[in-house]
């Protein structure tokens, strides 16, 4: 046998052996991406949409010393939607930290905590614990109570707008980069 024949047989055998060894690892990586990356990107898109809308409707006007021109129902519903969009945030903080963005993860946590505390403070004050799970539930409230709730939320937010402005700019930039 000459060297050409040996090499022509050995190379495909070595390549097949390497492929056989590496393919389970590659398959595992693909499966991990399907399990973790796809839901993360979906949650990022959902959170980004809610947070950007909230930022545009409330934070920018308050930062510019203006009053948001939005109905009481919409104000409450925007808070409800933002609060709901944050449910999976704690699950993804580890992923953000793994990307060497510990400071951003802290800001995301602080933002989520601020909105969560504000929402639950409103629920306690108006004795409506877990009663506003949809827009229809908000519409079922009498108009005076809706106005009171919206005013409460806006007054609380007004004091935090400048702080949230800087935090949200950075958070939104990160989540925009993760959109599918």
**pLDDT number for residue 146:** 92
Domain membership of residue 106 (yes or no) is yes
pLDDT at 38 (0 to 100)? 78
pLDDT band (50, 70, 90) for residue 80:
very high
Domain count, the chain: 1
Listed residue (106, 109, 149) closest to 127, CA to CA: 149
State how far the Cα of 8 lies from the Cα of 100, in Å rounded to an integer. 46
| pLDDT at res. 15 | 72
The pLDDT score that the predictor gives to residue 23 is: 67
Q: Give the model's pLDDT for residue 155.
A: 93
pLDDT tens per residue, range 18-48: 766 766 665 666 676 667 777 888 888 888 9
Kindly state whether residue 86 falls inside one of the protein's structural domains: yes
**Number of CB atoms found within 10 A of residue 61's CB:** 16
On whether residue 162 sits in a domain, the answer given is yes
Rounded CA-CA distance 166/141 in Å is 34
Please state the rounded mean pLDDT for residues 56-75: 92
pLDDT at position 27 is 66
Whether 154 has a pLDDT exceeding 90, the answer reads yes
Q: State percent of the chain over pLDDT 90.
A: 39
**170 in a domain, yes or no?**
yes
Indicate the range of 50-59, 111-120, 140-149, 171-180 predicted with least confidence: 171-180
113 falls within a domain: yes
What pTM does this model have? 0.76
Of the two residues 78 and 180, the one the predictor is more confident about is 78
pLDDT at 116: 92
| Residue 3 pLDDT exceeds 80 | no
Query: CB of 105 within 8 A of CB of 96?
Result: yes
For residues 134-172, one letter each, b for 16 or more C-beta atoms within 10 angstroms of the residue's C-beta and e for the rest, the string is eeeebeebeeeebbbbbebbbebbbebbeebeebbeebb
Neighbouring residues of 41: CB distance < 8 A, sequence distance ≥ 6: 178, 179, 180
In a domain, 28, yes or no: no
- Within a domain: residue 23? no
What range does the domain containing 101 cover? 39-177
Rounded to an integer, the average pLDDT of 81-94 is 84
In a domain, 15, yes or no: no
What is the arithmetic mean of pLDDT over 112-139?
88
Alpha helices in 33-88 (DSSP H): 38-54, 60-63, 72-85
Q: Which two tokens stand for residue 84?
A: 């709901």
């Amino acid at each position: 046998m000459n060297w050409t024949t040996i090499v022509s047989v050995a190379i495909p055998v070595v390549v097949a052996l390497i492929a056989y060894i590496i393919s389970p690892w590659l398959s595992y990586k693909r499966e991990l991406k399907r399990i973790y990356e796809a839901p993360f990107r979906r949650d990022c898109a959902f959170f980004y949409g809610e947070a950007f809308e909230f930022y545009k409707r409330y934070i920018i006007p308050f930062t510019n010393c203006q009053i948001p021109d939005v109905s009481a129902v919409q104000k409450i519903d925007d808070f409800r939607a933002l609060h709901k969009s944050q449910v999976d945030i704690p699950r993804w903080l580890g992923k953000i930290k793994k990307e060497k963005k510990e400071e951003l993860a802290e800001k995301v946590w602080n933002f989520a905590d601020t909105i969560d505390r504000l929402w639950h403070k409103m629920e306690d004050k108006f004795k409506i614990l877990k009663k506003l799970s949809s827009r229809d539930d908000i519409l079922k409230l009498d108009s005076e109570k809706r106005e009171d709730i919206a005013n409460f939320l806006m007054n609380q937010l007004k004091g935090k707008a400048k702080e949230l402005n800087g935090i949200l700019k950075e958070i939104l930039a990160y989540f925009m980069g993760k959109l599918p």
